[in-house]
Amino acid sequence: MIKLYSKAKLPTLAGDFEIYTFTNDENKEHAALVRGQIDGRNDIPVRIHSECLTGDVFGSKRCDCRDQLLRSMVYLGKQEYGMLIYLRQEGRGIGLLDKIKAYSLQEQGYDTVEANLRLGLPADKRDYTFAVEVLNYFHITSIKLMTNNPSKIDFLEGNGIRISERIPVKSEPTPYDEFYLDTKRVKMGHQI
């Protein structure tokens, strides 16, 4: 079960938000950027973003994470109501250390899915329970989800959250992430 830990105003380059931090029994910490009075307000746009230190912070071109994060924030910053839930599950849940190991396998020609599997790890180890609990905290049962990822939709719908609309989060492919985006489309069913 999650608990609200702290909250404060957070003006950003993309607009003014409030940041909420939550913890759970395992002392995991996640954050939500909230736009407007969202309590009990259904069908607001929500982005559920998984941590990517290399992309979100360092601007790596190997993935589209930062592009998606910024586009989502700019979009949400223009809405009256909305939320971005930032989940600390780096590397599709395998953690930073193994993600970088997977990168070095990708340099040997494996794609992003094969690289995880060669490390004996699942292609995607993420769990969105925390996001569901944040939505429950705000008494939200139906959202417009900003994603290209069908497994995210399936998880939420299987856990009591109705997806009334999918808002695509398009990013511009570059020569660096073309193969990565192709693999997500072909092997992970992303609607890119």
Ligand X SMILES: Nc1nc2c(ncn2[C@@H]2O[C@H](COP(=O)(O)OP(=O)(O)OP(=O)(O)O)[C@@H](O)[C@H]2O)c(=O)[nH]1
Our finding on whether 156 is near ligand X (CB under 6 A) is no
**Binding site per annotation, positions:** 47-52, 63, 65, 68, 90-92, 112, 147, 152
Q: Are 79 and 47 in contact (CB under 8 A)?
A: no
When binding is defined by CB under 6 A, the residue of 2, 65, 73, 134 that contacts ligand X is 65
Question: In the annotation, is 126 catalytic?
Answer: yes
Q: How far is the CB of 91 from ligand X (least distance, A)?
A: 4
Span near ligand X by CB under 6 A; candidates 6-14, 63-71, 129-137, 154-162: 63-71
Q: Are 136 and 37 in contact (CB under 8 A)?
A: no
**Which residues are registered as beta bridge partners of 15?**
12
When binding is defined by CB under 6 A, the residue of 32, 63, 134, 161 that contacts ligand X is 63
DSSP states of 136-152 as a string?
A: HHTT--EEEEE-S-HHH
φ/ψ of 84, rounded to 5, equals -120, 120
* Angstrom distance (rounded) from CA 2 to CA 10: 21
Span near ligand X by CB under 6 A; candidates 12-20, 23-31, 78-86, 142-150: 142-150
Q: How far is the CB of 65 from ligand X (least distance, A)?
A: 5
- Alpha-helical (H) ranges within 4-149 are 65-77, 96-106, 112-118, 129-137
Question: In the annotation, is 41 catalytic?
Answer: no
Residues found near ligand X in the complex (CB under 6 A): 50-52, 63, 65, 68, 89-92, 94, 99, 102, 112, 116, 147-149, 152, 169, 184, 190
